[in-house]
Every structure is written in C-alpha cells, then in structure tokens.
C-alpha cells in the first residue's frame, strides 16, 4: 500500500483544538489496528502537524482524512499528498 501524508495547520484557538486531541488519538489508534501503519505528530516550532499513513488509493486516503476528528470539527486546514518512498 502507498504512503500518504496529511500536512495540517491549526486554525482554531488552542483550547478548542485540545478538546478534539483525544478523539484524534483514538482515530489514529483505530487506523493502526486496521493496518494503515499510521503515525501522527506536531511541529515543535509552530502550529500544525502531520499524519502519515498507508492506504490503497488516494480515494481511500481522502476518505480516511475526512473521518479525522480534527478535520470534522474544523480545527485544521490541510493538504493531502501521496508520498513516493525512494529508500526503505
């Protein structure tokens, strides 16, 4: 399965954002359990972060991202890319 990357920028205040972080973490745990090898994190120097995961296609990746609580609750703007791995 190809890798996909959601690069995001927070667009709400920290208090609003933080209330959806537990649901986002649970969402990522569910992706891991389903075999998507997901990882999530944030940038240390400014607001925003990244979700890295495997999916069978861009269409599936878009569907996965649409179910992220941070997206569903309007907490982030994001870009979604297929990541072409050149060295493993």
Output the 3-class SS for 5-58. Answer: EEEEEECCCHHHHHCCHHHHHHHHHHHHHCCCCCEEEECCCCCCEEEEEECCCH
pLDDT tens sequence across 10-62? 999 989 999 999 999 999 999 999 999 999 999 887 778 999 999 999 999 99
The pTM (predicted TM-score) of the whole model is: 0.92
Backbone torsions φ then ψ of 9, nearest 5 degrees: -125, 130
Supply the range of the domain harboring residue 7. Answer: 3-83
88, part of any domain? no
Structure tokens at 55: 């999916």
pLDDT for residue 49:
94
Q: How confident is the model at residue 88 (pLDDT cuts 50, 70, 90)?
A: confident
pLDDT for residue 44:
82
Question: How many distinct structural domains can be found in the chain?
Answer: 1
- Return the beta strands (E) in the chain as ranges: 3-10, 39-42, 49-54, 76-83
46, part of any domain? yes
* Whether 16 contacts 22, CB under 8 Å: no
Residue 75, domain CATH: 3.30.70.1060
pLDDT for residue 67:
98
């Amino acid at each position: 399965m190809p890798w996909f990357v959601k690069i995001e920028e927070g667009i709400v205040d920290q208090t609003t954002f933080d209330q959806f972080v537990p649901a986002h973490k649970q969402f990522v745990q569910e992706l891991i359990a389903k075999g998507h090898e997901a990882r999530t994190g944030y940038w240390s120097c400014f607001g925003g972060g990244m979700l890295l995961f495997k999916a069978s296609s861009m269409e599936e990746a878009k569907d996965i991202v649409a179910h992220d609580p941070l997206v569903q609750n309007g907490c982030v703007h994001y870009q979604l890319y297929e990541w072409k791995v050149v060295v493993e």
